[in-house]
Amino acid sequence: MSRVDPPSGQARAALLHRIDRFPRWGLSIVSVITIGLGMMFVQYDIFNINVSFVQTCAQIVDGCSPATSDLFIGLPVFLSLVGYGVGALLLGPLSDRFGRHSLLIIAMVITGIGSLYSALSINETHFALSRLVTGIGIGADLAIINVFVSEVSPRRMRGRYTSVLFFMAALGAALGIWLGLYLTTPMTPWPQGLPFALASESFDTGWRWVYGVGAILAGISLVLRVALPESPRWLIEQGRHEEASTVIVRMEALATRRSSLLPEDTAATLPPEPSGGTLRAIRELMTSPRYLQRLIILGVAWLLGYITIYAFAGAFTSVLVRQGLTAAEAGMVSAVGLSGFIAAAIVARYVVDRVERKWWMLIGSLITIIGALVVAFGNGSPFVMFGGAVVLFFGQNIWVPAQYALTAESFPTRFRTSAYALADSIGHVGGGLGVFLLVGVLSQFPLEITMLGLVAFLVVGALVNLLAPRTRDKALEDISS
């Protein structure tokens, strides 16, 4: 027996279908920039340790030198990723109960505090703990923001808009690495380094400024987030139809400024009625064979993919230094390679909705293999390594926007953030453990073995991912029906 009377149920379905009729996103430019800044900060924090840790390690870790920094980077990266899992698991489900808006604000507060803590760390222990705190905020933010984007986007464009935000993320990654190169490596002639870099005997605290900039970005993002609207799909799920209608009317006005609403899909599935609360919804997730299977598939795919991603995002420079490059040379390879990340975000914007989501991980892994081989066999030739790094970062990131969308799309609204958080947490904690255990070990081998060993995890993850559901061009309610 339905818990909602028929008129209310019909109103609920009508509101949900209106969102999918938008010809484009119904958010203001300020809202788009606000969400984009959040994604920018997330990737800035992920990548800023890549180059800067060589200096951080030498400054605050006993017995560390640039040549051995790869042996010490595992712990802070691991704790950061554990934080991602903790944040996603603790705060993600709370957004299913209290709303996306309030938890997005809380997540950014935690992230900013963690970044400031990193900047002020006085030893290895404090630095590692600061990465854990920052990770808690970022993990929650990643889970909630990707769900929010899926819930405010029309079905035909969910992948495209995720990719637009991923472009901002790519800019954040580039800022993190280039700022680290500028502040933490010595002045070195191009292409071996940056001719105008600042690090010297009289300026050896550049790494603190790297994290300080992160705290500033978090503060700006926090102020802007106050004006974000609540997810209309979440409001509908709570039975708050009047508030949802108000948000949808505003979004509709913005979305139809240049074109009219799309025709209504008369074959669309009537969404199921709301569940009886957050705990009941999570219990449904864990006991439903369909959703539990999806959770396991996506969690394992993320786990294996994240081992590759975070090995290169967080430790690529340290691995190359272990192979004999100077910190400036290795940092420059990482910095130039980030242009592949930016290119991937741009390309994904136009192609992500043309191919089924789950295939993108396999496509990306094949491209990543090519880039890894070029880097390995180009050792000693800066420009060859630059080219390989560009291809590598392009390949390992081209699939990420599609995977964000796929994970958010695969579960119903009543526990979407909880499910996303669980899948992402499995990925981050497992990926962090993999980086912690593998980077120092694999970097002892010749570069070609190191590179292929790290990419192999992405390939296996891509094969697992093929078991995920098809979601492209489907209404969120149809996918979960």
Predicted pLDDT of residue 267: 55
Would you tell me which CATH number, out of the four given (1.10.630.10, 3.30.1330.30, 3.40.50.2300, 1.20.1250.20), belongs to the domain 17-254+277-479?
1.20.1250.20
What is the phi/psi pair of residue 154, to 5°?
-65, 150
The reported pLDDT for the residue numbered 20 is 81
At residue 273, φ and ψ (nearest 5 deg) are -70, 160
> Which pLDDT belongs to residue 143?
84
- Unique residue bearing structure tokens 């190169």: 181
Single-letter residue type at 399: W
User: Which residue, 360, 347, 367, is CA-closest to 471?
Assistant: 360
pLDDT the model gives residue 3: 41
The Cβ-side half-sphere exposure at 190, using a 13 Å CA radius, reads: 7
The whole-angstrom separation of Cα 317 and Cα 327 is: 7
Low-confidence ranges of the chain (pLDDT < 50): 1-7
State how far the Cα of 18 lies from the Cα of 11, in Å rounded to an integer. Answer: 11
Contact 174, 342 (CB under 8 A): yes
The per-residue pLDDT for 243 is: 93
Contact 292, 58 (CB under 8 A): no
* Amino acid at the residue 134: T
Using DSSP, state whether 444 is helix, strand or coil. Answer: coil
Residue 2, pLDDT score:
38
Entry pTM: 0.80
